[in-house]
Chains A and B, each alone.
Chain A
């Protein structure tokens, strides 16, 4: 009878285990589309055997652990690739905005420069014509407007980046806080020798998000807590403590600060990674260099046209004044003499008679010598001895083109790499419907046979009890 009772007990444990396993399979199926979920499985072990005479007889089965499939190597690979993906992603939008500003259509600054000098060429055919003189002023105004517009558009791009940084930071602070909290929970659960599977999945997912946005790297401490730090080594999650990111407006732009304990650190391209680094690189390095180039172009056009214009004379035969506003930056702390030339560019001449088509001397309305010289300026090599105005513009535009092209390539590459790794991760730890369905059948059969076994034992016991009737 004792043997039968043992068998009854074994059958009961089997029923329980199979039922629990089916629950776990069900949970896997429920989470088949949950991002970051790792497949869980029950770890089955037999009950310790009991000695029965000369041999040992098993006592049933039990679940010793519910474990999740996990691959540390893949996780760290993924974090790395997400950093690349984030960095490229952070630059993409600004670059496509820049490509819109510096376009290659028929209507760009280069066409306006052409048209401006073309109006001088046209003026040279009939220098006394007041209409042609007006056209020159008009073209000058359009050119100046275009430079202003480009400078303003660059400001808009920078503002968009600032907006994006600000909106990112709020979300990131939540993620940082959640990672710290998860660290705490996992520690509290696992100290009791239990597995915090779903919490770990969630933490892995959040850490990937942080890597993508901030370029963070992680290491595990002895308590099983994930410590997250920025590329420069500044910690943002330490044990169960999360730091805070703050955006501070410095008047014209936005600074990003890390509040770590009592100290405040400014973050820049060197101490950031991922998407924010991409944004900061565009805002603090690439766009300023583009702006400097366009300022340079505006300054070169303005100052050289002015030099040529003052060499000539208006209809009165007296030396002419400057055509464009002198945008040379004089007051420190200007970074260069070109600073803000594009946005300040404006035409000074407003009287068509003051257009210097001729050279100084007695009034000569037919004198076109200065107009010819001015028209010639348009296709001369005037910048650094290697570029004309147009080729300088072409140079700026191709620089943006190359950058954008590179970005497209590296973004594509990073996306592919991430996809591949995510698929690899899925391959190891993901939920496969086929696998789960088969497990379902397996456990179902296990449950059925245990039940059958139970009824057999029941019959045996009945027979035993019926022996003495």
Chain B
């Protein structure tokens, strides 16, 4: 067995090749900061990496959706506050009107103000955000509430929505958005529930005759009928014009409760979205960590390895040069 020139050079060559390949890989890792640059670098890490990336993307989307939801809910809440003020003022007017010491002129003034409040309520009910009607359900491009031109005070029947002063043209579908996988939250309030007291599940599209649930009431009817009762100075005759101020005051209380209840529910959902946002942000950070663990190179380790390989490379190179320095030919004359 002898060592020949070719075998020595073959050995040196293959070692240098191996080291330069390793160095190439390590340098690639150091430059990209990733330890998985192609599928063969770590086939088992591919699924976790892709899944983590998908989830990060979802997480970002959910955060954005929650931001939009939060803004919508806040805006809706502002409008609900406005409606609450209207009902509050209506009640003040009602209490004032029940006071018998008022003359006809005073009552007329109060009735006119109530009429204005009713218009303000109608305007609130047809509020738009971003060009869409917020109390209209899915049909958010058409105004949800229109005045019943055929309304007569005498024709009012509490259990038949077709006789009420305003019609609801929207649908009973509150907008839902997905805030995390599988969890949806209602970001809106539908007009039928808020203004007419008809639950979404019981709402039947017009021209059906809907009626308010027990303990709920049609806000427009209350204001319209209160106005009618004040104009006609009907203090407490339920069968008279407007159905009596006292009865309407009670109805106003029911209306205010109905509005406050829905506002409170919205508030709870807003709070839920807020906590979920904070939670989702933490999840996002966790996911980044997971992804990093699978795909990012350990910088210190990589640089250490590079230094190690470089010294191996230097050693191999110096051996190569020594091999060529020493030759039997130098020892002949």
Residue numbers of A with Cβ under 8 A of B are 32-33, 95-96, 99-100, 102-104, 106, 110-111, 114-115, 118, 121-122, 124-126, 128, 358, 362-369, 372, 375-376, 378-379, 390-391, 393-395, 397-405, 408, 415-416, 419, 422-423, 426-428, 430-435, 437
- On chain B, the residues within 8 Å of A128 by CB distance are 132, 140-141
Bitwise, B32-57 to A at CB < 8 A (1) or not (0) is 00001111111110110111011001
Chain A residues within an 8 Å CB radius of B181: 376, 379
Partner of A364, one of B58, B64, B171: B171
Contact between A419 and B44, CB atoms less than 8 A apart = no
Q: Which residue of B lies closest to A435 (CB)?
A: B2
| Sampled A-B contacts (20; CB under 8 Å) | A103-B39, A111-B53, A114-B53, A121-B65, A121-B178, A124-B178, A125-B65, A372-B176, A390-B50, A391-B47, A395-B47, A397-B39, A398-B44, A401-B39, A404-B39, A408-B40, A422-B7, A426-B6, A430-B7, A433-B5
A415's contact among B14, B69, B176, by CB below 8 Å, is which?
Answer: B14
Q: Which of A379, A401, A426 contacts B46 (CB 8 A)?
A: A401
Give Cα distance in the complex from A405 to B140, angstroms. Answer: 56
B272 close to chain A: CB less than 8 A: no
A427→B46 contact, CB < 8 A: no
Q: How far is the CB of A371 from chain B (nearest CB, A)?
A: 10
B239 CB-CB contact with A under 8 Å: no
Cβ A372 vs Cβ B140 within 8 A? no
CB-based contact A114/B57 at 8 Å: yes
A32, B138: Cβ atoms under 8 Å? Answer: no
Tell me, in angstroms, the Cα distance from A426 to B39 when the chains sit together. Answer: 38
Contact A366-B43, Cβ < 8 Å, known A104-B37, A415-B14, A430-B6: no
Chain B residues closer than 8 Å to A368, beta-carbon distance = 138, 175-177
B140 adjacent to A366 (CB under 8 Å): yes
Q: Give the chain A neighbours of B39 by CB distance below 8 A.
A: 99, 102-104, 397-398, 400-401, 404
Q: In chain B, what residue has the closest Cβ to A434? A: B328
Is B258 in contact with chain A by the CB < 8 A criterion?
A: no
Tell me the minimal C-beta distance from A313 to chain B in angstroms: 11
B146 at the interface (CB under 8 A from A): no
Complex CA gap A433/B173 in Å reads 93
Beyond the given A372-B178, A404-B39, please list 20 additional residue pairs across the A-B interface where CB-CB is below 8 A: A32-B6, A96-B38, A104-B49, A111-B53, A111-B57, A115-B57, A121-B65, A124-B65, A125-B69, A125-B177, A126-B130, A128-B141, A362-B171, A364-B138, A366-B140, A367-B173, A379-B58, A397-B50, A398-B46, A434-B2
Whether B300 is near chain A, meaning CB under 8 Å from some CB there, is: no
Chain B interface residues (CB < 8 Å from chain A): 1-7, 10-11, 14, 36-44, 46-47, 49-51, 53-54, 57-58, 61, 64-65, 68-69, 130, 132, 136-141, 171, 173, 175-178, 181-182, 184, 205, 295, 327-329, 332
Query: Is B38 a contact partner of A419 (Cβ separation < 8 A)?
Result: no
Give the residue of B7, B36, B65 whose beta carbon is less than 8 angstroms from that of A426.
B7
Q: Which of B44, B68, B141 contacts A365 (CB 8 A)?
A: B141
Across the interface, which residues of A come within 8 angstroms of B51, CB to CB? Answer: 390-391, 394
How distant is B86 from chain A, measured CB to nearest CB, in Å? Answer: 25
Q: Closest chain A residue to B55 by CB distance?
A: A379
Q: How far is the CB of A465 from chain B (nearest CB, A)?
A: 38
Q: Given A364-B139, A379-B58, is A437 in contact with B328 using a C-beta cutoff of 8 Å? A: yes
Residue of A96, A106, A366 with most partner-chain B CB within 10 A? A366
A111 CB contacts on chain B under 8 angstroms: 53, 57
Closest chain B residue, CB of each to CB of A440: B332
Residues of A within 8 A of B3 (CB): 427, 432
Q: In the complex, what residues of B have CB within 8 A of residue A437's CB?
A: 328-329, 332
B16 to chain A, nearest CB (A): 13
Q: How far is the CA of A423 from the CA of B1 in the complex (A)?
A: 10
Closest CB in chain B relative to A53 CB, distance in Å: 45
What is the CB-to-nearest-CB distance from A124 to chain B, in angstroms, rounded to a whole number? Answer: 6
C-alpha spacing A118/B49, complex, angstroms: 18
> Nearest Cβ distance between residue A150 and chain B, in whole angstroms?
14
Closest beta carbon of chain B to A96's beta carbon, Å: 8
Q: How far is the CA of A405 from the CA of B205 in the complex (A)?
A: 64
Residue among A111, A128, A398, A408 with the highest chain B CB neighbour number at 10 A: A398
**Are A401 and B40 in contact, with the CB atoms below 8 A?**
yes
Which residues on the B side are within 8 Å of A378 (C-beta)?
A: 54
CB distance from A110 to the nearest CB of B (A): 5
Residues of B within 8 A of A114 (CB): 53-54, 57-58
Contact B184 A401, beta carbon cutoff 8 Å: no
* A33, A391, A426: the one within 8 Å of B50 (CB): A391
What is the bound-complex CA distance between A375 and B171, given in angstroms?
24
Report yes or no: A432 in contact with B4, Cβ–Cβ below 8 A: yes
Known contacts A110-B50, A110-B54, A121-B65; is A405 also within 8 Å of B4 by CB? no
With A104-B50, A118-B57, A433-B5 in contact, do A364 and B137 touch (Cβ < 8 Å)?
Answer: yes
Q: Which residues of A contact B64 (CB under 8 A)?
A: 122, 125
CB pair B2–A362 under 8 Å, yes or no, is no
Pairwise interchain contact A122-B61, C-beta atoms closer than 8 A? yes
Bound CA–CA A96/B14 (angstroms): 21
**How close is B183's CB to chain A, nearest CB, in angstroms?**
11
With A364-B139, A391-B50 as contacts: A99 and B38 at CB distance below 8 Å: yes
Tell me whether B328 and A433 are in contact (CB under 8 A): yes
Chain A min CB distance to B222 (Å): 28
List B contacts of A125 (CB < 8 A): 64-65, 68-69, 177
- Most chain-B Cβ atoms within 10 A of its Cβ — which of A372, A408, A423, A430? A423
Interchain CA distance A72-B308 in the complex, whole Å: 42
Partner of A33 from the list B2, B6, B130, B176 (CB cut-off 8 Å) is B6
